[in-house]
């Protein structure tokens, strides 16, 4: 792994099912990302984008190959070690925001930190307030998700992904559910966070307009990387 790489995978495979039903979805992925990079992950439907993000996010194990991040061998790590690693170093944004409906914007943003620590602290509340400010929603901190627009909810989801100061945010079609204007707003926000906080982002998308806003382009085709 090169000095500045935050993660590196090589020969990574993923198979689902057994016997005749077995399918090889990732067919030997070699990929690394440097600290502070922002990359789009493109590929046709079914090419393996979500599977790769889920594995990089330690939410699922690869079937074979190597997966190292920040000096940790994540293939060999126990489930407990992987869970701790995830909450400390990784953030997630999904196509559907997955905010908890009964919590305010502020409480949703604090949630991953409060869960990791087993309690809420004043520092968490302050950090969540700062992040809501950074995503332009300081005045919505007490609103519930149902009282916000789709774009605002997704900005809350971005703030939530950042609460534990992750090294890498994995975003699976974060703008897939938004109109063009809201999508651009979320991408502007991601770019500015990438530049100011040096957080790395890997963003899967079907949208060339979104991909064009990312300095690096990684393309998957049928479980293999054809451009990175
Ligand atoms: N749990 C699973 N069991 C069996 N097959 C699976 C499973 N998860 C994914 N697959 C298969 O793996 C392939 C890749 O799926 P994946 O969701 O990673 O693709 P994708 O590139 O993200 O697609 P999309 O752009 O439509 O979201 C698909 O053929 C899918 O059916």
How would you classify the pairing of strands 200-204 and 38-42? parallel
Using one digit for the tens of pLDDT, what is the confidence trace for 72-84?
Answer: 999 999 999 999 9
Instruction: Report the alpha-carbon distance of residue 225 to residue 17 in Å, rounded.
Output: 22
Rounded Cα–Cα distance for residues 168 and 181 (Å): 25
Predicted local distance difference test score (pLDDT) of residue 194:
93
Establish if 187 belongs to a structural domain. Answer: yes
Task: List CB contacts of 130: < 8 A, sequence separation 6 or more.
Answer: none
Percent of the chain residues topping a pLDDT of 90: 84
Give the chain's mean pLDDT. 93
Rounded mean pLDDT, 175-201: 90
Query: Residue 106 falls within a domain, yes or no?
Result: yes
Q: Number of structural domains, the chain?
A: 1
ipTM of the modeled complex: 0.96
**pTM of the entire predicted model:** 0.93
| Cα–ligand 1 centroid distance for 103 (angstroms) | 31
Instruction: Let me know: does 201 contact 168? Beta carbons within 8 Å.
Output: yes
Share of the chain above pLDDT 70, in %: 99
Task: Please check whether residue 72 lies inside any domain of the structure.
Answer: no
Residue 213 inside a domain? The answer is yes
Per-residue b/e over 67-106, b at no fewer than 16 CB within 10 Å? bbbeebebeebeeeebeebbbebbbbbbbebebeeeebbb
Name the residue range of residue 131's domain: 35-61+78-227
d(CA 107, ligand 1 centre) in Å: 32
pLDDT of 47 over the 90 cut:
yes
- Would 193 be classed as within a structural domain? yes
Name the more confident of 85 and 185: 85
Is position 7 within any domain? no
Residue 157 located in a structural domain: yes
Closest to 14 (Cα-Cα) out of 33, 4, 29: 29
Mutation test residue for ligand 1: of 40, 49, 175, the one with most atoms within 8 Å of CB: 49
pLDDT of residue 179: 87
* 221 touches ligand 1 (CB under 6 Å): no
Distances in Å between the Cα of 10 and the Cα atoms of 36, 56, 200, 204 are: 21, 12, 19, 20
Residue 69 lies in a domain: no
183 has which bridge partners? none
The model's pLDDT over 92-123, given as tens digits with 9 standing for 90+, comes to 998 887 899 999 999 999 999 998 888 999 99
Here the CATH number for the domain that contains residue 51 is: 3.40.50.300
Max CA pair span of the chain: 55
């Amino acid at each position: 792994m090169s000095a500045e790489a935050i993660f590196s995978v090589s020969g990574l495979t993923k198979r689902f099912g057994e016997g005749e039903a077995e399918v090889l979805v990732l067919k030997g992925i070699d990929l690394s990302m440097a600290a502070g990079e922002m990359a789009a992950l493109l590929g046709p439907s079914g090419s393996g984008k979500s599977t790769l993000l889920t594995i990089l996010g330690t939410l699922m194990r690869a079937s074979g190959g190597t997966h190292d991040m920040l000096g940790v061998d994540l293939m060999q790590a126990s489930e407990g070690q992987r869970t701790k690693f995830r909450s400390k170093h990784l953030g997630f944004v999904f196509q559907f925001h997955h905010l908890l409906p009964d919590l305010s914007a502020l409480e949703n943003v604090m949630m991953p930190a409060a869960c990791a620590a087993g309690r809420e602290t004043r520092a968490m509340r302050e950090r969540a307030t700062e992040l809501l400010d950074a995503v332009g929603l300081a005045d919505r901190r007490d609103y519930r998700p149902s009282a916000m627009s789709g774009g605002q909810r997704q900005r809350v989801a971005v703030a939530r992904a950042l609460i534990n100061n992750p090294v890498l945010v994995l975003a699976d079609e974060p703008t897939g559910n938004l109109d063009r204007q809201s999508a651009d707003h979320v991408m502007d926000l991601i770019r500015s966070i990438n530049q100011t906080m040096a957080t790395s982002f890997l963003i899967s998308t079907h949208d060339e307009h979104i991909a064009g806003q990312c300095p690096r382009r990684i393309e998957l085709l049928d479980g293999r990387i054809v451009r990175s």
